[in-house]
Amino acid sequence: MLVYRNFCFIISVMCWVCTPPLDAKALPNIVFILADDLGIGDTKCYGGDRCLIETPNIDALAANGLRFTDAHVNASVCGPTRRAIMTGRYEWRFGPAENSGPWGFVGPRPNTEKSTLGKIFKRSGYQTGYVGKWHLGTIMTTFDGRTQGPDNVDFSKPLSYGPVQFGFDESFILPGSLDMYPYAYVRNNEWQGEITAQKGWSAFNRVGPAAEDFEDHEVLETFYTEAEAYLSKQSVDTPFFMFLALTGPHTPISPGVNWQGKSKLGVYGDFVMEVDHSVGRVMKALKKQGLDENTLVLFSSDHGAACYAGNILKATPGQIHLLEEKGHFPSGPHRGFKFSVYEGGLRVPLIAHWPAVIKGGSTSNALVGLNDLMATFAELTGVELGDDEAPDSISFASVLRDPTAPSNRQHLIMQSAQESFVVREGDWKLCLCPGSGASDQWLIEPLSTVSWKQALVDFEGKPTREDLLKSPFVQLFNLATDPHEDHNLAADHPARVASMVEALKGDIREGRSTPGPRLTNDKNVVIHQRFPDFVRTRMMP
């Protein structure tokens, strides 16, 4: 691990030395568009013939820019991914949320706002804007002073913690996901509309507080209209950063009225097409302002497609296979979905469009994590990060300048929704669980309970905690020869498994995975945070 860190340090110094000082007038504008639950196979430019949805705007972004083929999120579930993006720090280093109510009433995790994308950009004089899904925690005023929830929030009072505290000059958000109450917008920490209704939507039908005029099928259009309004105020005189966090195609599958019936695949395809349209609207707005040439536009997703999503509006575990039967594969050539340890949940589209710098039609196989955005943006804008900032972020700015450049990253830590760790080193991938790493209720094969029971049978004894870090309790894949993760090689390569486990332990112990002084995690991090009770009863004391 020390050798790897020294290598990263040398490369970063070389990049800094070889890169000329930035001209303040030539600082790039940056727009980051993040889809919600969009699988890598939901776009034509990644899915090819196995994608039955037309995505002309995303495809054009790739055709005129750079398409990454080995980009990953840090967790196959929403909140952890967004925290890692916003801070350049692995989610599992943060402590538990405070003042946290259900769904969109989730509270903040301490220190999340300490060093953020918004604050990094402010150091270089950027205007900063955030539009869309938030889900990074809020603090709301309550009538009774207790934990915020559906029955005690005073919606006439502003948030005391939200995008403003993260360094965003302007913001227009939904506190949680599209199927998580409260169903109401917040502008610059001020609630919008009369929040006196009770509403719920298809999928999970979670009924809770809502603005009287809030409609689920209008949310995407509302967000890209807000994004257009933000971009219309920008000029070449002051650089800007806009984070556009879309709410589709996350359930409820709710395409706008102009998109219903557009896709031959059905309503799921309609919603993805509207996500694609959102990208087109942003690009047109930039062009209208004369800002497209020197604006870096990045497009990605917060993780893979949900196995319960599809053309049945009620959330139905496993229904995504019905789309596959039609010939559409949301996970592309990969195995698994949202919540799992497999590539279908963790590998995401990442497209960079920057006419002034990037040659159109480029591809890169560099290993990238979305947690790398902070270091990348800092390098592009000339910001020097402090020793305690972005401790798990490695810049890929050199790849933007030259898609053939080698990756600065060879090592990446990820997690499933059940907090099963995943370690990536080069082409090797280690999953520290014997199954999908997802709850059985989602029907993602192989089911976790079945896999743990079989591993106990194969072990033939009482395992210790250290035994759980070895075969048959782990999965090791070589993605170069086995991209679908069909062949578990853990039993054949025990030394490699042990080495990758030690690398993870080192990242946990050091409080960082980049060069620098040792930091402290906000909580005690253990590798196996969750496993079935029947495993615990079989373990050595």
How does DSSP assign 267-315, residue by residue? HHHHHHHHHHHHHHHHHHHHHHTT-STTEEEEEEESS---TT-SSSSS-
pLDDT at 187: 98
Lowest mean per-residue pLDDT among 9-18, 471-480, 495-504: 9-18
Q: What is the C-alpha to C-alpha distance for residues 125 and 473, in angstroms, rounded to an integer?
A: 50
Sheet of strand 66-68, all strands in order from the earlier edge strand to the far edge = 190-191, 186-187, 170-174, 127-133, 240-249, 29-36, 295-301, 350-353, 66-68, 362-364
Extract the tokens encoding 19: 């890169």
Domain architecture of the chain: domains with CATH = 32-366 (3.40.720.10), 413-538 (3.30.1120.10)
Q: How many C-beta atoms surround the C-beta of residue 286 within 10 A?
A: 22
Three-state SS at 440: helix
If you average pLDDT over residues 345-357, what whole number do you get? 98
If you average pLDDT over residues 524-533, what whole number do you get? 89
Model confidence pLDDT, tens digit, residues 337-346: 999 999 999 9
C-alpha 35: how far from its chain's center?
9
Alpha helix positions (H), 98-153? 117-123
Lowest mean per-residue pLDDT among 22-26, 330-334, 404-408: 22-26
Confidence of residue 8 (pLDDT cuts 50, 70, 90): very low
**CA dihedral sign of residues 25, 27, 28, 31:** negative
Q: Is residue 461 pLDDT above 50, yes or no?
A: yes
**R_g of the chain computed on alpha carbons:** 22
pLDDT at 528: 84
Q: Which of 412, 310, 532 is nearest to 75 (CA)?
A: 412
Phi, psi of 30 (to 5 degrees): -135, 130
Model confidence pLDDT, tens digit, residues 44-94: 999 999 999 999 999 999 999 999 999 999 999 999 999 999 999 999 999
308 contacts 321 by C-beta, under 8 angstroms: no
Q: Which of 409, 414, 406 is nearest to 393 (CA)?
A: 409
pLDDT at 529: 73
If you average pLDDT over residues 142-155, what whole number do you get? 98
If you average pLDDT over residues 7-21, what whole number do you get? 41
pLDDT at 393: 98
459 contacts 472 by C-beta, under 8 angstroms: yes
pLDDT at 12: 43
pLDDT at 345: 98
Confidence of residue 5 (pLDDT cuts 50, 70, 90): very low
Q: What is the C-alpha to C-alpha distance for residues 402 and 359, in angstroms, rounded to an integer?
A: 9
C-alpha 152: how far from its chain's center?
31
Look at phi and psi of residue 487 and say left if phi exceeds 0, alpha if psi is from -120 to 50, else beta: beta
Residues facing residue 477 across a β-bridge: 429
pLDDT at 25: 58
Q: What is the C-alpha to C-alpha distance for residues 444 and 289, in angstroms, rounded to an integer?
A: 46
Confidence of residue 16 (pLDDT cuts 50, 70, 90): very low
Percent of the chain with pLDDT over 70: 95
pTM assigned to the model: 0.95
- For 370, what's the count of Cα atoms within 13 Å in the CB-facing half-sphere? 31
**CA dihedral sign of residues 471, 475, 479, 484:** positive
pLDDT at 9: 38
Q: Is residue 240 pLDDT above 50, yes or no?
A: yes
Q: Is residue 310 pLDDT above 70, yes or no?
A: yes
What is the chain's mean pLDDT, rounded? 95
C-alpha 50: how far from its chain's center?
23
Percent of the chain with pLDDT over 90: 93
If you average pLDDT over residues 366-379, what whole number do you get? 98
Alpha carbon of 106 to those of 131, 204, 210, 366, 373: distances in Å?
18, 18, 16, 35, 24
pLDDT at 541: 85
If you average pLDDT over residues 123-137, what whole number do you get? 98
297 contacts 423 by C-beta, under 8 angstroms: no
Confidence of residue 23 (pLDDT cuts 50, 70, 90): low
